[in-house]
Chain A
Amino acid sequence: MLSVFKDSFLQTALVASLIVGAVCAYLGVYVVLRRIVFVGAALAQVSSAGVGLAMCTGKNPSLVSLILTLGGVAAFSVKSKDRRTTQESLIGIGYAVASALAVLFVAKSAQGEAHMLDVLSGNILTVTSHEVWWMTGVGLAAVMLHALLSKQFLFSMFDPETAQASGIRAGWWDLLFFLILGIIISLAIRLAGTLLVFAFLVVPAVTGLLLSQRLGRVCAIAVGASAVATIIGLYASVKMDLPSGPAIVAVLFAVLLVAWVIAKIR
Chain B
Amino acid sequence: MRGRGEKPRPLLKRDKAMKDSSITHKADCQHTTEMLAFEHADLGYGRRTVLGDLDLVLYEGDFLGIVGPNGTGKTTILKAMLGILKPMSGQVRRNGMARFGYVPQRQFIDEVFPLTVTDVALMGRYTRLGVFARPSRRDRDSVLECLRHVGIADLATRPYRELSGGQKQRTLIARALAAEPKVMILDEPTNDMDIGSEHAIMELLKHLHDEDNITIVMVSHLLNVVVNYAKKLALIDGGLRMVGSTTEVLSSRNLSDIYEVPVEVASFGGKIVVLTGGEDA
Contacts and interface: CB of A to CB of B under 8 A. Distances in A.
Contacts of A152: 126, 131
Given A81-B46, A155-B126, A214 B114 contact: yes
A213 B112 contact: no
A165 interface: yes
B113 A215 contact: yes
A25 to B, nearest CB: 15
A215 B132 CA distance: 18
A209 B104 CA distance: 25
Given A209-B114, A213-B114, A165 B123 contact: no
Interface stretch (A104-112, A113-121, A156-164, A230-238): A156-164
A137 interface: no
Contacts of A80: none
Q: From DSSP, what is the main secondary structure of chain A's interface residues?
A: helix
Given A35-B112, A213-B159, A215-B115, A159 B104 contact: yes
B82 A165 contact: yes
- Could you say which of B109, B114, B120, B175 has the most chain A C-beta atoms within 10 Å of its C-beta? B114
A161 B127 contact: no
Contact of B123 (A32, A33, A155): A155
Contacts of B131: 149, 152
A58 interface: no
Given A151-B126, A168-B126, A213-B159, A162 B104 contact: yes
B191 to A, nearest CB: 15
Contacts of B119: 215
Contacts of B268: none
Interface string A62-91: 000000000000000000010000000000
Contacts of B102: 161-162, 165-166
A148 interface: yes
A159 B104 CA distance: 9
A164 B84 contact: yes
Contacts of A209: 112, 114
A126 interface: no
A35 B129 CA distance: 28
Contacts, number: 73
A99 B116 CA distance: 40
Interface residues of A, number: 27
Given A81-B46, A149-B131, A165-B82, A159 B123 contact: yes
A158 B100 CA distance: 19
B194 interface: no
B100 A165 contact: yes
B121 to A, nearest CB: 12
B233 interface: no
B45 to A, nearest CB: 8
B101 to A, nearest CB: 9
B28 to A, nearest CB: 31
B83 interface: yes
Contacts of A33: 110, 112-113
- Could you say which of A164, A165, A168, A212 has the most chain B C-beta atoms within 10 Å of its C-beta? A165
A157 B114 CA distance: 12
B47 to A, nearest CB: 12
Nearest to B135: A151
Contacts of B123: 151, 154-155, 158-159, 162-163, 166
A212 to B, nearest CB: 6
27 contacts: A33-B112, A35-B110, A35-B112, A148-B132, A149-B131, A149-B132, A151-B135, A152-B131, A154-B123, A155-B126, A158-B113, A158-B123, A159-B109, A159-B110, A161-B84, A161-B102, A161-B104, A161-B108, A162-B102, A163-B123, A164-B84, A165-B82, A165-B83, A212-B114, A214-B114, A215-B113, A218-B114
